[in-house]
Amino acid sequence: MFETITKKDIIAINQKFDKGQIVNGSSLEYAIYNANKTKSWIRACAVLVRAVLIDHVFEEGNKRTAAAIITGFFENNNLKYDPEKVAKCIANILTNNITNLIKIEKVILYAIIR
């Protein structure tokens, strides 16, 4: 299981790349609620990534924030990953407009080095 994720946590991630200016707060709050409700780290990651990428939670830096969320979950779970594959995950989700959480989970898992 993972530590509880807060709105401040996600804003802090975005602030590494931009100002942390939220433009879709309700989507972020809903995603955080659902991420904290699940016992699956991959589901929590997918919920947050979907909100940030598809719902454009922040004014700027959504792709970089989503990538940082993914790598953060990998690191918290001691999983080795390929940073280039993380970037491809982000591109894949956006290019194909993937909104289904199960599909997003599979795309994210692609970046793990096995």
Residue 20 in tokens: 């942390």
In a domain, 85, yes or no: yes
CATH of the domain at 82: 1.20.120.1870
What's the whole-model pTM score?
A: 0.96
In a domain, 1, yes or no: no
Dihedral over Cα of 86, 94, 66, 73: its sign: negative
Spatial separation of the C-alpha atoms in residues 50 and 28, rounded to whole Å: 10
Spatial separation of the C-alpha atoms in residues 111 and 81, rounded to whole Å: 5
- Tens-place pLDDT, residues 28-79: 999 999 999 999 999 999 999 999 999 999 999 999 999 999 999 999 999 9
In a domain, 56, yes or no: yes
In a domain, 78, yes or no: yes
**What kind and span of H or E run contains 32?**
helix 25-37
Give how many domains the chain has, as a whole number.
1
Identify the pLDDT of residue 2: 59
In a domain, 12, yes or no: yes
Average pLDDT, the chain: 97
Domain span including residue 40: 7-109
In a domain, 30, yes or no: yes
In a domain, 114, yes or no: no
Q: Count CA atoms within 13 Å of residue 65 on its CB side.
A: 30
In a domain, 2, yes or no: no
Spatial separation of the C-alpha atoms in residues 10 and 93, rounded to whole Å: 19
